[in-house]
Structure 1
Amino acid sequence: MTKEEVLKKYFGYDSFRPLQAEIIETIIAQKDCMVLMPTGGGKSICFQVPAMVMPGITLVISPLIALMQDQVQALKSNGIPAAFLNSTLSTIEQRTIEEDCKNGSLKLLYISPEKLFSNNYLGFIKTLNVNQIAIDESHCVSTWGHDFRPEYIQLKALKDTFPNVPMVALTATADRVTRKDILNQLGIPEALIFISSFDRPNLNLRVLPGRNRLKVIHEFIAKRTNQSGIIYCLSRKNTEDVAEGLRKLGIRAMHYHAGLDAQTRAEVQDAYIKDEIQVIVATIAFGMGIDKSNVRFVIHYSLPSNVESFYQEIGRAGRDGMKSDTLLFYSFGDIITRKEMIQKSELPDEMKEVQLAKLERMKQYAESEICRRRVLMSYFNEETNNDCGNCDVCQNPPQRFDATIFAQKALSAIARAEQKAAMGMLIDILRGSQNRSIYEKGFQNLKTFGVGKELKYEEWAEYITQMLNSGIVDIAYDEHHYLKLNPVSWQVLKNERKVELVRFEPYDVKKARLDEDVPRERTKKDVIKDALFEKLRILRKKIAEEQNIPPFVVFSDATLSDMAQKRPINRFQMMAVSGVGEQKFRMYGDEFINEILRFSGENPTIARAKQEKGMTFLETFEMYKNGLTLEEMAAKRSLNPVTIVSHLVKLFEDGQEVDLWQYIMKYEYNQIIAEAIKMNIQKGDAIKPLFEALEGIYDYGKLRIALAIWAKQNV
């Protein structure tokens, strides 16, 4: 089979995404390569399609048990013979898989690096007809990467063992230094590098101050009923506290971290993958092994340590290409905590410097006042001159003002308190609060006592936080969180430096930024589509529970959305839905068609036109298969032959076996297409100008036939 035939038959897609076809051709040509694609960008297709095209077996090095299990399960559901080898298998199960490898009945074998190099298992791999080697999550190879795994260093032995077998390294995140290190570590320094755009336009990017986090999260999730999400926390205790807080608010949430025993982690992860819980609150121990396509939001409760980690983690939302949200909470305290973790780590000084520099870039992203997507893409050396329009900075440009006087008041109060006031106490001094703590310390006698009465507590908290984030003032976490002056502070106090801050917004205004823009009035068609999507989602969940598999393995959200849009009621219509391949149709097609028909009965006005159109196409197709001519079909159906042609063209475009060449001569085709190319006629364009340019020699039916054949040949 060709790569296009494999794509349609097993994966249900009509065309490749950008770069996929070129990468696949490179692998089939026996050349090494590196693939950088964002999470959800279609990296797996790049080695799974060649695996089915080439003779032999593909070896996939995968870092986590859960990841390889999910991917193998998804491949099997598509009708692709695949298996994994890891510690969860019994000896008998392992022997069975090894026999399947030897006799050629498997096309992909997933294995961890630990398994590969234990007990000289590489010796067994040498006996197989390996056609390619795929290194998934290859950033683990690099000592400069953000997720270093020592076991991955040994993978160079694979290239030494199979020097003529193409190796493909795949990752979602790697800057220039890391890319070079990965290729050297794998022994393929001259490999071709394919870099897909790092842009994920379906992800909305937002950053909020790190206050009222649980309240904001609750309101955020409440607007996303039945949508799966991940909340990343810095510490294990954070995960437990946040998950418990959400459960008390009625949200199905569980926590996940490395301190849980293996069985509990597996149970939580399984429940999340199967949509039994809505939200998982986790440390970075969770995520790399998750192949869940319907995650609709990712929240960072704390600042990640670097842009690579952040990008990898937000990439777990919207893997199916559908609209998804990301939210990052940011505070100066997060920066201090992260710096302390790096300084106290056992990393060599050289790597500590690298990690601190990466943390600084993450800080710049969080504090950015330009399009956040541009900041991310620039980090990965991809330039763009256009703002995305889908981040908080683009949607709500910050209003800045000259806040020098406010800053001087705060800095003067810090100085007069002898730099022994934390933020709360400083605000009380500025606002002239009459409380016991003020009087115990004698702060009511300071000249700056009450000089900031014009601002509310929340306003001062916002502005002082911005001053911290801008380096105008420091905080001593080892001295009761006292605020400290620095050289910049003195420049401001001496009027040598101006201070610009973003104007304070009340919480209810800031909260509105979490909501989508004021929604347009939804049409009846939109309402029907969403209602049908929910019906299909419930059916998917039922089937998944019966088969004990994750719902997204049945069909992705993107496929259900396309199904709800097209409302297929027969085989050829269902096969035109994106993500429905032959195996998926055999397994689930009839059930989903029946659900759509039931829904149509409940909504007859909307459904009737779609259903009647599908039935008339099906009737034409049955006559065609019975060998009737155009004229005979038109006569039996009392339709114009051109209408019958339009049915056949649609069937042909939907992938049905219709031979359009029997209705057009080669010279007619050549003349029509030559004129179409000259006029730059594209598929879907109105063809009246083409009809007129050819002076009516050919009817609209002939024109449609020629254009359909040409479009199929030039996919």
Structure 2
Amino acid sequence: MSAATLLRDVFGFDGYRPGQQEIVEAVTTGKNTLAIMPTGGGKSLCFQLPALVRDGVTVVISPLIALMRDQVRGLKEAGVVAGALTSGNTEEETDEVWRNLENGTLKLLYMAPERLASNGAQRMLRQAGVSMIAVDEAHCVSQWGHDFRPDYLRIGDLRRDLDVPLAAFTATADEETRIEIVEKLFDGHAPTIFLQGFDRPNIHLAFAAKDGPRAQIINFANARKEQAGIVYCGTRAKTESLAKALRDARHSACHYHGGMDADDRRNVERRFQQEDGLIVCATIAFGMGIDKPDIRWVAHADLPKSIESYYQEIGRAGRDGAPAETLTLFGPDDIRYRRQQIDEGLAPPERRAADHGRLNALLGLAEALHCRRQNLLSYFGEDPAPCGNCDLCDKPADVFDGTTPVRMALSAALRTEERFGAGHLIDILLGNMTEKVAQRSHDQLPTFGVGKEYSRVQWQAIFRQIMGHDLMRPNAERHGALRMTPKARPILRDEATIDLRRDTIKSAKSGPKIKQMVSEEDAPLLSALKAKRRAFAEQLGGPAYIVFNDKTLIEMAEKRPKSLDDMARIGGVGTKKLDSYGAAFLAVINGEAAAQHPQRQKLAGRNDGSIYDRLLETQATLSRGPSGTDKPMSCSASQLAKVASQKPRDEAAITRLLGDRAADRFGAAFLDILRDA
């Protein structure tokens, strides 16, 4: 049966959406294909339709059980023999899949990437007559992407093993991610690539600073009564409390998060599909499996984790092409939380630096000067005209030439060697004589006190805009410090100017003071120490506190020990833990820790350690004798450690430890050190 006939008879469409036909034809003819299509652009049809035209089974790798169940249900209702092998299956569902595989009627088999880890699954696919692999959410293969799933890396091996064509689909892939998809899924051999525009012109874009966020969300919902919507929340607890607040405001609302029972989650998914006007307050676990065309609005109660996540989540709205609206709330605590998530990750520094860059891009969208859609689409490599369908096209922002304050901030960072975070730089700009400023003589800098025109919270707003313009990024290797990007240099050299939003600076105000475990300056280092602790805990297979408790890590972050001796003075760092973990945690704090002999390491944190160091220094001076012409001689590290810890008081005692020859060379000088100790 032809694709056109199946399109009409099975899927009920008289024609393709823009861009679908070319992709369907490429996939049907067996070309390796990568299609980047906007969310809601009809990706699933582009592999489901070819699967029906082609002989054999198409295996679909998809990241979420909800998404698979939803698509299988839709295909079955259309008369297609499809099934999924997931951990959420009933015994009857699994038996049906095997039965249809054995009798050769199954056309689409959905699987989670984690299932590919099983040798049995790969053997089954070899025997099942698989003729094509389709990969949904292909960006999950990218270790640089916003949603990396390690098991996606197995798909390339599966393609080679089965020797069948592969069609990969995603809605969110910048150029860096596209390169990695080609490398990991297609062995670097370029597939046929379809890159469609990312624009969803029917979706109205809006951002707002948090100012009573619960009321802001309820008011947004009140203006859209009886319309289906999703509210994305940063925590599970917030999904529950916000859903209750919406119900109290007489909305039909429920919550959804990964901590719920599978049956409860399925019930919410079913209700959302079937009920009109239901609002779901959810974590990002919700939505990828919901192909509901008439979601009229999406709100973010907290800042998303990246610009890709934002694009994907707002793309759940208005899939029917009718007008849809969005609202994204953001505040300083959101940004701090997202930075902390990055810093506490176990990714290498270059990956964390890239993630901070992605977060900067999202801040740039939140603090955009002009049309938001232009800002969003330019991130994905497009160059559109102003859209007329966003809050900044509706009401332009109050913009001014902010070159002078930006240059002040950059200059303060440069003159302090890019070693500090925004808090300390703001103290310098405001002329605050803090202990930290005094210790480092930063009151002598030309930039000390030049920024008194703005208050502290206004400077914080300026720094957020500086980050949004990607002029500075957190230094992934020097925790808490801001480092300038190449974009900052022309502004510093007076070769370029930059505009800022006056409205967000004017309206900046202190929110409720949230009790932090450490100061804002020390928070990124504490996050990095927690990441190192988690890595050790995972190796041990035990809880994190077995390595060090929070109190110990907080003291490390605040005191920043520079040596094993300093580290040994931190509460909770005993001899065994110093030996096991000391150097690794010092490396997090200061870069690579200096190597130290095990005998010296045992004395760390005690006066004996400093005695050992003086003995070693004196030995180096006398190694060739008082005249410097004798035959070289030295004591072992073990001998020096014994002298430092036992502290002999006369020549006889020191001779017993060192032997006659060494005592003759070093004894008198060593005794002088011990008498002074």
Give, in whole Å, the separation in 2 of the partners of 1:397 and 1:5: 49
**Is residue 185 of structure 2 the alignment partner of residue 224 of structure 1?**
no
Unaligned runs of 5+ in 2: 409-425, 436-452, 468-481, 508-677
**Is residue 466 of structure 2 the alignment partner of residue 467 of structure 1?**
no
Task: Give, as a single letter, the amino acid of the residue that structure 2 aligns with 1:358.
Answer: R
Q: How many residues align?
A: 457
Task: Give, as a single letter, the amino acid of the residue that structure 1 aligns with 2:168.
Answer: A
Which residue of 1 is the match for residue 172 of structure 2?
A: 173
Task: Give, as a single letter, the amino acid of the residue that structure 1 aligns with 2:130.
Answer: V
What SS is found at the alignment partner of 2:226? coil
Which residue of 1 is the match for residue 184 of structure 2?
A: 185
Task: Give, as a single letter, the amino acid of the residue that structure 1 aligns with 2:235.
Answer: S
Deviations 1:545-586 (A, max 9, x none): xxxxxxxxxxxxxxxxxxxxxxxxxxxxxxxxxxxxxxxxxx
Asked whether the 8 Å contact 2:427–2:433 carries over to 1, the reply is no
Asked whether the 8 Å contact 2:88–2:262 carries over to 1, the reply is no
Deviations 1:254-306 (A, max 9, x none): 22223334343333333333327721122222232322222211111222221
**Is residue 394 of structure 2 the alignment partner of residue 395 of structure 1?**
yes
Cα distance change of structure 1 residues 151 and 275 upon mapping to structure 2, 3 Å threshold: same
Asked whether the 8 Å contact 2:60–2:136 carries over to 1, the reply is yes
Cα distance change of structure 1 residues 175 and 102 upon mapping to structure 2, 3 Å threshold: same
Cα distance change of structure 1 residues 413 and 308 upon mapping to structure 2, 3 Å threshold: closer
Shift of 1:324: 0.8
Which residue of 1 is the match for residue 99 of structure 2?
A: 99
Which residue of 2 is the match for residue 26 of structure 1?
A: 26
Cα distance change of structure 1 residues 213 and 324 upon mapping to structure 2, 3 Å threshold: same
**Is residue 319 of structure 2 the alignment partner of residue 315 of structure 1?**
no
Which residue of 1 is the match for residue 603 of structure 2?
A: none
Which residue of 2 is the match for residue 141 of structure 1?
A: 141
Which residue of 2 is the match for residue 251 of structure 1?
A: 251
Give, in whole Å, the separation in 1 of the partners of 2:505 and 2:144: 40
Equivalences for 1:400-439 in 2 at 5 Å?
400=399, 415=430
**TM-score, length-normalised on structure 2?**
0.61
Give, in whole Å, the separation in 1 of the partners of 2:373 and 2:43: 21
Which residue of 1 is the match for residue 81 of structure 2?
A: 81
Asked whether the 8 Å contact 1:271–1:277 carries over to 2, the reply is no
Give, in whole Å, the separation in 2 of the partners of 1:177 and 1:413: 38
Shift of 1:249: 1.6
Asked whether the 8 Å contact 2:66–2:289 carries over to 1, the reply is yes
Larger deviation, residues 193-202 vs 55-64: 55-64
Cα distance change of structure 1 residues 260 and 28 upon mapping to structure 2, 3 Å threshold: closer
Give, in whole Å, the separation in 2 of the partners of 1:314 and 1:228: 13
Deviations 1:486-532 (A, max 9, x none): 999xx99xxxx99964348999xxxxxxxxxxxxxxxxxxxxxxxxx
Asked whether the 8 Å contact 1:401–1:503 carries over to 2, the reply is no
**TM-score, length-normalised on structure 1?**
0.58
Give, in whole Å, the separation in 1 of the partners of 2:192 and 2:21: 14
Shift of 1:136: 0.9
Asked whether the 8 Å contact 1:233–1:300 carries over to 2, the reply is yes
The CA RMSD measured in Å over matched residues stands at 3.9
What SS is found at the alignment partner of 1:388? coil
Which residue of 2 is the match for residue 329 of structure 1?
A: 329
Task: Give, as a single letter, the amino acid of the residue that structure 1 aligns with 2:352.
Answer: K
Shift of 1:466: 4.0
Cα distance change of structure 1 residues 105 and 412 upon mapping to structure 2, 3 Å threshold: closer
Equivalences for 1:437-452 in 2 at 5 Å?
none
Which residue of 2 is the match for residue 205 of structure 1?
A: 205
What SS is found at the alignment partner of 1:74? helix
What SS is found at the alignment partner of 1:43? coil
Asked whether the 8 Å contact 1:62–1:110 carries over to 2, the reply is yes
Task: Give, as a single letter, the amino acid of the residue that structure 1 aligns with 2:365.
Answer: Y
What SS is found at the alignment partner of 2:296? strand
Unaligned runs of 5+ in 1: 421-450, 453-459, 473-484, 508-715
Deviations 1:327-358 (A, max 9, x none): 11122332222112211222221211111111
Which residue of 1 is the match for residue 14 of structure 2?
A: 14
Give, in whole Å, the separation in 2 of the partners of 1:269 and 1:93: 19
Cα distance change of structure 1 residues 94 and 137 upon mapping to structure 2, 3 Å threshold: same
Cα distance change of structure 1 residues 91 and 77 upon mapping to structure 2, 3 Å threshold: closer
Cα distance change of structure 1 residues 403 and 157 upon mapping to structure 2, 3 Å threshold: closer
Cα distance change of structure 1 residues 404 and 229 upon mapping to structure 2, 3 Å threshold: same
RCO higher in 1 or 2 (8 Å CA, sep ≥ 6)?
1
Identity percentage of aligned residues: 40
Equivalences for 1:524-535 in 2 at 5 Å?
none
Task: Give, as a single letter, the amino acid of the residue that structure 1 aligns with 2:170.
Answer: T
Cα distance change of structure 1 residues 418 and 255 upon mapping to structure 2, 3 Å threshold: farther
Shift of 1:172: 0.8
Task: Give, as a single letter, the amino acid of the residue that structure 1 aligns with 2:392.
Answer: V
Give, in whole Å, the separation in 1 of the partners of 2:155 and 2:300: 33
Give, in whole Å, the separation in 1 of the partners of 2:458 and 2:277: 38
Shift of 1:464: 6.6
Equivalences for 1:294-313 in 2 at 5 Å?
294-313=294-313
Cα distance change of structure 1 residues 20 and 330 upon mapping to structure 2, 3 Å threshold: same
Which residue of 2 is the match for residue 129 of structure 1?
A: 129
Deviations 1:402-453 (A, max 9, x none): 8999999xx9999487679xxxxxxxxxxxxxxxxxxxxxxxxxxxxxx99x
What SS is found at the alignment partner of 1:84? strand
What SS is found at the alignment partner of 2:18? coil
Asked whether the 8 Å contact 1:462–1:504 carries over to 2, the reply is no
Task: Give, as a single letter, the amino acid of the residue that structure 1 aligns with 2:16.
Answer: F
Deviations 1:178-216 (A, max 9, x none): 112112222353211111110101111111111122222
Which residue of 2 is the match for residue 346 of structure 1?
A: 346
